[in-house]
Amino acid sequence: MLNELFQQDYNPPKLEKEILKFWEEKEIFKKSVEKRKGNERFVFLEGPPTANGSPHPGHVLTRIMKDVILRYYTMNGFYTPRRAGWDTHGLPVEIEVEKELGLRTKQDIEKYGVEKFNERCRESTFRYENEWIEMTKRIGFWIDMDNPYITLDNRYIESVWWSLKKIWEKGLLYKGHKVVPYCPRCGTALSAHEVAQGYKTIKEPSIYVKFKLKEKDAFFLAWTTTPWTLISNVALAVHPEESYVEIEYEGEKLILAEKRLENLFAGKGYKVIRRFKGRDLEYMEYEPIFKFVKPDKKAWYVVCADFVTMEEGTGIVHIAPAFGEEDYEVGKVYDLPIVQLVGKDGKFDERVKPWKGMFVKDADPKIIDYLRESGALAWEEEYLHEYPFCWRCDTPLLYYAMDSWFIAVSKLRENLLRNNENIEWYPSHIKHGRFGDFLREAKDWALSRSRYWGTPLPIWICQKCGETMCIGSIEELKSLSENFPEKIDLHKPFVDNLILKCPKCKGEMKREDYVIDCWYDSGSAFFAQWHYPFENVEEFKNNFPADFICEALDQTRGWFYSLLAVSTLLFDKPPYRKVLTLGLVLDKQGQKMSKSKKNYVDPKVIFDNEGADPLRWYMISANPPWAPIRFYEEAVKETLRRFMLTLWNSFKFYLTYAQLDKFDPRKHSVDVKNRMHLDRWIISKLQNLIGEVRENVEKFELQKASRAIEEFVVKDLSNWYIRRSRKRLWIEEMTQEKASCYSTLHDVFFTLSRLLAPFIPFMSEAMYLAIKTKDMPESVHLLDYPKKEERLIDKDLERAMDISRRIVELGRVLRGKIGIKVRYPLSKAIIVCGNDTKREIENLLELIKEELNVKEIIFSGSREEAMRTIGENNYAEIEGEGIYLVVDKRLTPELFAEGFSREIVRRIQAMRKEMNLSIEDRIETEISVNEKGREAIERWKDYISGETRSKKITFTEEAKGELIKKWKIGDVEVTIGIRKGA
């Protein structure tokens, strides 16, 4: 089957389907893992995707990269089981179901019924599972999809509960009233790492607002980028240590920080009247702009706070403790009231009469209009800043004071940083940069979500005495519950129905009505996938920490963070040793791909048109793994043409001849040391390549590894070795020369099939299957990765070949300068070089001569001597890296005739091909050409007839035939007509 495939043109989709069938039938993946059982482990942890949407190019990229590394370590003898996982909870799932059902608010969901809603969520989590499995198989990613871990599984949830109880016992799980990032559409608080997923740069109004001092004819000038929060203003904050000024400007007295004066009023004709220390302004009262409710505590005075910045604004900050973390904190210090006039839906409530029911951000322009009309607006500017949006539904987030459950991660900052020190990051700058920065400022993890589809928070509170318990297992739940059912689903609403008996007062305990952040679920994968500690304790120990994880850059503050946080909380150890962070996948224009813009190619199109191997090779070789990569079809096509086809054709060339000659490596193999120079050279290059590939893969420098392979295949193997070796294979009998070449090609391709196996597993397999003999393992993926063999490396020979190739290249350039093509032989070339160089390349002289197409090569010690030898007017020369090449540029009639006849042969061959003639078909040839051309052809008539199987060559005024073509060869015009002869 496969031998036949290699007689055809390269058709990856067709080939790959055959290989997939072969892998499946023979269970090659399973065998490749089992074969290494008992060896040292290479532990991989799969970051679980959500299967409620189709996989996109980013997923394809991560799967390719993971696969390359895992196959590499497997072939290096490591026991590398790979288990798939699915992330199934949380907002990503809920929002899709809401859309489907046309539900817009949480009330809608409640009305629809939580049980039914969650049932729909459960169904939807695997809606695209088949598409995912299909893609995973098609791309060649070997991972066990039959036995995945799933975060909605009762056992998984139980492990998560166990971990939360551990954290509770350490006193690190608590309920607090805090200002948290909040999505008004989803109606839930979000965690800092969720917020980090959704920053966008937007333009918003920023306004300068005047607050009139009480009983004085002056104003505090404050600045804000969230006009809607002015409704809840209760104070103004100044920096106690900074200097403030009162100025007179256009007839008004304004107070602001002195350091901001230049920025805001330069050249505007103001006059400074007075100076104060910020501290002196403390407790000064002002008149409120909005007074929709009467605060329950003293409000509207100046407070001091260190967070007031002199970098922007006026140095006076408006304070609304209901909507800002810092506002809330300073509010606690000064016992400020909290004026909350915004509902959980992000809209003003009925007390804000003019704008009631309006989403706060939409009310901004109206509020600004009001300020302008009432004279409180000093001026307005546009402000470009980073603002967080909900990572799932794209609604602008609000900061909102509310009750939430937190994990006190901020107390573990030191531990997080210490554990991070034991992780190898690729690329390394992320460790102390993007990731380290986030750890240094780690906030308490807002864990609870006021949602439905997720791991329920296992906290029960006694309604009578307030006793609070964190439940850590199903057993524990059972023991405290009087209505525990036969079978339990640990989701809402079932867990909510469980009423526990308070161990203190026998009162009723009810569950806190929250689910948890789904990032906590996936961050627990390293133990929860084993149902640890309830089962598989050994298995967990053997797999912790993971040796390798790999996801896209956007997981830095996502899964990479949640894993480290959970692992630090529970075990105070890093959960992974090496992490490979992949660049983002962009579209052809370099734009970020987005679901809404649909600006990406469906990977399936590429699988069907170009195939998986070319896509893999493109993704691997285009950029370092951590750099962004453009994903588009033409790029894959180009890779296919540039590399894959060259590899295929080279291999096909070898296979065709080897089969024709019945070459059997076991019978005809020639020992490397007895092979020809060219053979030993390519073997030596191959050994270096092995070393280079290994070194780079171990540093995840996959691009460097693949580029090295590509250079070897295209430049060394195809364009030099095979081209130089063709003639040897045309000899009829199996000479030593020929066997030496076959042995070499066999070694090269057998090694390449293994070397390439992690990168392009399909073509490698096909190559291997085509050359393997019965006694060899059934798949290349069951073999060991090649190791560099120092004894086969011949540095002197490599150097000599380098010099020879340089001389050949010099010849090519020189011929371009004098306008004589390589097809025309020259009589003489003189290489001017030192004795050492001469000695080095002496063995390769025959090769250089052929490549230069000269009749004679001589060496000379000096340029002058070389020129004298050829004669003043007849030489042409060129220099490169200390070597001179001098040639006799005279094209004698003899030399011209030889070259010209070759040109004629080449053209007649092309015409034969165009007429689809077979090798045996004879032809008749008519040629119209000038005297010079005719003379040349006459000299080589026998040669031309033989090469082109022309029975007869005639010269006419006007050449006729079944096919007639006109050419200009050099300055000679030729018309050739051929017809199929009898």
Q: By C-alpha distance, which of 708, 741, 739, 743 is closest to 724?
A: 741
Burial label, 296 (beta-carbon count in 10 A; 0-12, 13-18, 19+): exposed
Shortest approach of Zn ion to residue 187 CB, angstroms?
8
Shortest approach of Zn ion to residue 480 CB, angstroms?
12
| Helix H or strand E encompassing 964 | strand 963-969
Shortest approach of Zn ion to residue 475 CB, angstroms?
21
Does 838 participate in catalysis according to the annotation?
no
Hey, what's the torsion of the CAs at 725, 731, 735, 736, to 10 degrees? -10
- Nearer CB in complex with Zn ion: 156/182: 182
Instruction: For 116-130, give the DSSP string.
Output: HHHHHHHHHTTTTHH
Which residue in the list 216, 506, 592, 727 is annotated as catalytic? 592
Which residue in the list 87, 679, 747, 888 is annotated as catalytic? 87
Does 48 participate in catalysis according to the annotation?
yes
- Nearer CB in complex with Zn ion: 301/389: 389
Cα 411 to Cα 572: distance, rounded to the nearest angstrom: 13
Which residue in the list 197, 529, 555, 687 is annotated as catalytic? 555
- Other residues' Cβ atoms within 10 Å of the Cβ of residue 451: 21
- Nearer CB in complex with Zn ion: 176/503: 503
Region of 395 please: left (phi>0), alpha (psi -120 to 50) or beta. Answer: beta
- Nearer CB in complex with Zn ion: 503/893: 503
Query: How big is the chain by its Cα radius of gyration, in Å?
Result: 39
| Pairing label, strands 585-586, 629-630 | parallel
Which residue in the list 355, 519, 530, 617 is annotated as catalytic? 519
Q: By C-alpha distance, which of 236, 353, 207, 250 is closest to 301?
A: 236
Does 379 participate in catalysis according to the annotation?
no
| HSE-CB for 698 with a 13 A CA cutoff | 8
145 neighbors 84 (Cβ within 8 angstroms): yes
How distant is the alpha carbon of residue 889 from its chain centre? 54
Instruction: For 576-630, give the DSSP string.
Output: EEEEEEEPPEE-TTSPBP-TTTT-S--HHHHHHHT-HHHHHHHHHHSS-TTS-EE
| Helix H or strand E encompassing 557 | none
Shortest approach of Zn ion to residue 642 CB, angstroms?
45
Shortest approach of Zn ion to residue 455 CB, angstroms?
19
- Nearer CB in complex with Zn ion: 505/964: 505
Does 519 participate in catalysis according to the annotation?
yes
Which two structure tokens, joined as six digits, stand for 701?
A: 């420098």
Which residue in the list 48, 184, 388, 574 is annotated as catalytic? 48
Shortest approach of Zn ion to residue 98 CB, angstroms?
10
Q: By C-alpha distance, which of 394, 348, 383, 339 is closest to 367?
A: 348
Q: By C-alpha distance, which of 528, 515, 548 is closest to 449?
A: 515
- Other residues' Cβ atoms within 10 Å of the Cβ of residue 683: 22
Identity of the residue numbered 64: I
617 neighbors 639 (Cβ within 8 angstroms): yes
Shortest approach of Zn ion to residue 94 CB, angstroms?
10
| Helix H or strand E encompassing 878 | strand 875-880
Q: Which residues bind Zn ion (CB under 5 A)?
A: 183, 185-186, 390, 393, 395, 462, 464-465, 467, 502, 504-505, 507
- Nearer CB in complex with Zn ion: 393/964: 393
Shortest approach of Zn ion to residue 396 CB, angstroms?
10
- Nearer CB in complex with Zn ion: 390/690: 390
- Nearer CB in complex with Zn ion: 505/792: 505
Hey, what's the torsion of the CAs at 388, 391, 397, 399, to 10 degrees? -80
Residue 41 is given by DSSP the state B
Shortest approach of Zn ion to residue 365 CB, angstroms?
23
- Nearer CB in complex with Zn ion: 394/608: 394
Q: By C-alpha distance, which of 297, 313, 300, 307 is closest to 233?
A: 300
Q: How many residues does the chain have?
A: 982
Cα 858 to Cα 847: distance, rounded to the nearest angstrom: 14
Shortest approach of Zn ion to residue 338 CB, angstroms?
24
Q: By C-alpha distance, which of 146, 156, 131, 109 is closest to 50?
A: 131
Shortest approach of Zn ion to residue 345 CB, angstroms?
12
- Nearer CB in complex with Zn ion: 467/737: 467
Helix (H, G, I), strand (E, B) or coil at 246: strand
Question: Whose structure tokens read 């959704």?
Answer: 198
Cα 336 to Cα 328: distance, rounded to the nearest angstrom: 9
Shortest approach of Zn ion to residue 167 CB, angstroms?
23
Residues with Cβ within 8 Å of 837's Cβ and at least 6 positions away in sequence, in order, are 803, 883
- Nearer CB in complex with Zn ion: 346/603: 346
Cα 649 to Cα 7: distance, rounded to the nearest angstrom: 10
Shortest approach of Zn ion to residue 389 CB, angstroms?
8
Cα 560 to Cα 577: distance, rounded to the nearest angstrom: 12
Which residue in the list 26, 99, 216, 595 is annotated as catalytic? 595
Cα 873 to Cα 890: distance, rounded to the nearest angstrom: 9
Which residue in the list 132, 168, 460, 559 is annotated as catalytic? 559
Does 592 participate in catalysis according to the annotation?
yes
Alpha helix stretches (DSSP H) within 216-268: 261-265
Cα 362 to Cα 596: distance, rounded to the nearest angstrom: 23
Which two structure tokens, joined as six digits, stand for 4?
A: 């036949």
- Nearer CB in complex with Zn ion: 479/930: 479
Cα 309 to Cα 926: distance, rounded to the nearest angstrom: 92
Q: Which residues are catalytic?
A: 48, 87, 519, 555, 559, 592, 595
